Amino acid sequence: ASPAPAPADTGKTVADSVVTSASSVAGESLERGRVIAGYRIEGLLGKGGMGQVYRATQLSVQRPVALKVLSPRLAKDTDFRERFLREARAAGGLHHFNLIAVHDVGEAGGLMFFSMELVEGRTVKDLITAGGLGIDQSLDIARQTLLALAYAHQHGVIHRDIKPDNIMVDANGAVKVADLGLSRIDDASSRDDGGSTHAGTIMGTPLYMSPEQGRDAHAADHRSDLYSLGATLYHMVCNCVPFPGKTPVEVVLKSATQPLTFPEPGPPPQLRTFITTLMAKDPAERPASAKDAIELLDRVRRTDSFTADPTRRIRRYIHRRRRLRRLAQAGGALLISLAVLFLTVSLVSRRMASDAWDRESSRIVKLADDNNYVDALAQLQSDIERMPAGSPHARSAEELRAKIEDSWEARSQERGAPYLAAFDAAVRDKRFNEAWKSLKDIPSALGSPKMKQAIEDREDAFGHAIDEASAAKPAEAKAQNWEELARQGEMLFANALWREFSFAPPDTVQLRDGIARFTGSGRGAYSKAIQGARSRHAELDFFLRPTAPLSKGQQWQLILGASVVTVDDRGATLVRDGREEPLTSPSGTLMVRLRRTPSGYVLYSGDRWLPFANSGDGRLQLAWKLDAGNHLDVMVRPVYLGDRAPPAKP
């Protein structure tokens, strides 16, 4: 069939038709060789209602590009500037093989421009004009265009101007979809009254425009692009437009009211069915997405899966779509009812939870007001663990915890400061008995985290001061009864050391007065290097006393790397490198002395030191296994650098 004549203006967009083509003014064309923001003009590729497209070279990377320049006259109009920038932004955010890529957008010398991929090829319009397209080539172009649309729709971009002029085919048959100047970003901001497309606006090219886009471009969705592709495919295989007319309004009216017909002889029935489906006047009767359209197109190309009767095929497709729509509507009503029920239950539950939290928080605040901070924070932590993370009540509980902790800290610092000051003064004057009393007189209710740390720091300082005073003046130490205070210092050291262990299960170890009582079975790991809390402590003595003699199968082990000291019914034994070395024989109280040297760790064995482990062998670990009813008390004490012989058993 020969192509039906159509007026030239029906091939333009409606937005273009209301603008006198500024590009026709010769003075607006850019001369060859001119450089704009790093792009050298090589020649004019084409003109349109909004400006010109030039072949150019991006000088920084010597890359050939297409440079689209907005007409200087239109650049003064806010609407056209926005449309030009919208095309650049829409294309710049999409990266797909079948979409022309945008590289850069800018403004220089009073010119707005953007650079894009240069496609060496022809438009589908040029191919139709040159003698038409075969069915196979037309379907291949349609499929590649659908791939580009599926990607754009997935990223919220609707093209709104699919037509032969905007589909390019390169020498290898690859399709590139161009001109996103009428595109819309399909989100809430693009559909409000402040958007660039207002209700009632007609945008697009009438010959290929969907009926709903002809009525109101603002209301058209992604299925309008499928209609435009159907009209373009019609033109490719029939060599004429589906609804010719003398004016844009006549074309729009025909597409909205007249049935689609095909010239004879025309395309095969199965292809007519596909085109008719894409061009259904009701968007709900078109494929739901570009991906669905690709599936239908692939069935067309297989041919045998399509009925030879296009009318029957259309009826079956439409009936299925209507049935699915009715099911969706019924399901939607059910979902709305369930949502209302859920919302009601949720509001009631939320109100009940809010009332319960109000009562609980009031009770916790009262505990804190009564200076019972430990119980208040413990109850609050228990409540937080039961609350959904990030919920309003959980956030409220976290805020309440921060306030209680701050209040506890402030009260502890205020009430505890005199005790700490008295301790510092007494230690400075070597009045150690008074210092010790000042520290122990601090009420437990003042044990906030920072105050507890301050007390531990002073306990350490107290032991250090006792050590120095005893070493400097032993006679005076005896006269002042400092030996008892020294034992108190050792107990403080032992308490600090045991606190650095993590035990599992925790309830198998109880600490009291520097002694750890082990029961049942468990393991423990020390978090620091094996050395005294202060530099003068070079060694550690472990004294072990079981309630009843250890029978076979009961044991307590000290482990470092691959070396193990085992205390059992045989006494203390060292196992290193597969060899056993006895340390002590069984007795009521066993002692294990551990020393850290520059080369590693050694153990004392009666009259000599035995290698135990290397410096890099990891953390000290404990393991024990005791019978029910039996327990093992372990006391640890530091040994000073000047103390070389093992002390007497306690």
Could you give the residue numbers annotated as active site? 161
Residue 563: exposed, middle, or buried by beta-carbon count in 10 A (0-12, 13-18, 19+)?
buried
3-class DSSP string for 485-543: HHHHHHHHHHHHHHHCEEEECHHHEEEECCEEEECCEEEEEECCCCCCCCCCEEEEEEE
φ, ψ for residue 57, nearest 5 deg: -120, 125
Tally: H helices and E strands in the chain = 18, 25
Residue 355 structure tokens = 């009332």
CA distance 98 to 147: 7
- d(CA 511, CA 495) in angstroms, rounded, equals 8
H or E stretch at 127: helix 124-129
CA distance 304 to 477: 108
For residue 173, count CB atoms less than 10 angstroms from its CB and return exposed for 0-12, middle for 13-18, buried for 19 or more: exposed
Q: Are 426 and 435 in contact (CB under 8 A)?
A: yes
* 306 vs 310: CA distance, rounded Å: 9
DSSP class per residue in 211-253 = HHHHH-GGG--THHHHHHHHHHHHHHHHSS-SS--SSHHHHHH
